[in-house]
Chain A
Amino acid sequence: MMNSFLLLQEQEQQFFVKNCEKDVRDAVESRLKTVYLISDILEHFFPILSDTLTVMAGGNTINPEDAYLTVDEDETARRTPPTPGAPEGE
């Protein structure tokens, strides 16, 4: 037979499952979604934003990439855009 302390533990856990489990889960899920959304936005846009501000202030970008080429500098930009059904670049 289970001792009284373990029975107490079981009753407390049953109480939680019956009365609080869903509320707590929903609250945690919602919070995590918010935090992840904010962190994803920061992760995606912060480096670009910081580079933009640095360049505007007269500095250089942290990681210069092809993505920063102008149309004149980018040879691939002059190619005819692909048409439906045609191989890329034709």
Chain B
Amino acid sequence: MEDLAIISAYKERRDATCFRLLYDRYAAKIYGKALTMLKKEASAKDATQEIFTKIFLSLGKFQGQSKFSTWVYSVTYNYCIDLIRKEKRSRDIFADEIENPPDIEAEEVPDTTLMNIKVNELRQVLRTISETDRRLLLLKYKDGIKIKEIAKMYDKNESAIKMQLKRAKEKAKRKHEELFGSDKDE
């Protein structure tokens, strides 16, 4: 059953089955995205609860002009960004270098080294790099957000984000080598 059909049925009858269908479809994804942004599992769980309540109470505003999933994810990221800003951590989202990016154009290339390391190793690497780098890598490679969207999300230009991403990958790779002492995947 299409999202739009479920939504219009829910709007008409506030049917519990419709709620559950949408919840089962999106809750885990919203949680994953909230975890990318907020890092802590408890915060991501609370955020998922808030975001879902917000989504259902605002369903009347959803006109179906974009895909429901797109709308859901934009509500998710906006909520998380607001939360981060409220907690006065927004300024560290991107360092000064982002405000004044170098002239070099960074290539947006998939990084096989990072892609092929073990999940447990990746978790450890992500724990040791900066919050900024962690969030950027996860937004791009775990959540599959396009550079353009990330740039829009943080109100930055695309080349600045690309450069930051390139550096984040380099740092993560270095950290992986430090921790696990291997470049076997390259």
B141 in contact with A5 (CB, 8 Å): yes
B49 in contact with A27 (CB, 8 Å): yes
Is A48 in the interface zone, CB < 8 Å from B? Answer: no
State which size class the interface on B falls in.
20 to 34
Q: Which residues of B contact A7 (CB under 8 A)?
A: 119
Q: How many residues of A contact B (CB 8 A)?
A: 25
Contacting A at CB under 8 A, from B125-144, are 137-138, 141-143
Q: Which residues of B contact A8 (CB under 8 A)?
A: 119, 122-123, 142
Q: How far is the CA of A69 from the CA of B20 in the complex (A)?
A: 45
Q: How far is the CA of A60 from the CA of B16 in the complex (A)?
A: 41
B167 to chain A: closest CB distance in Å?
18
Q: Which residues of B contact A16 (CB under 8 A)?
A: 27-28, 31-32, 45, 48
Q: Which residues of A contact B115 (CB under 8 A)?
A: 3-5
Is A36 in the interface zone, CB < 8 Å from B? Answer: yes
Q: Which residues of B contact A17 (CB under 8 A)?
A: 28
Closest to A29 in B: B19
Is A35 in the interface zone, CB < 8 Å from B? Answer: yes
Chain A residues near B (Cβ < 8 Å): 3-9, 11-13, 15-17, 20-21, 23-25, 27-29, 31-32, 35-36
Q: Which 9 A-B pairs have the closest CB atoms?
A: A3-B115, A13-B28, A5-B141, A16-B31, A5-B142, A4-B122, A28-B52, A7-B119, A16-B28
Chain B residues near A (Cβ < 8 Å): 14, 16, 19-20, 23, 27-29, 31-32, 35, 41, 45, 48-49, 52-53, 56-57, 114-119, 121-123, 137-138, 141-143
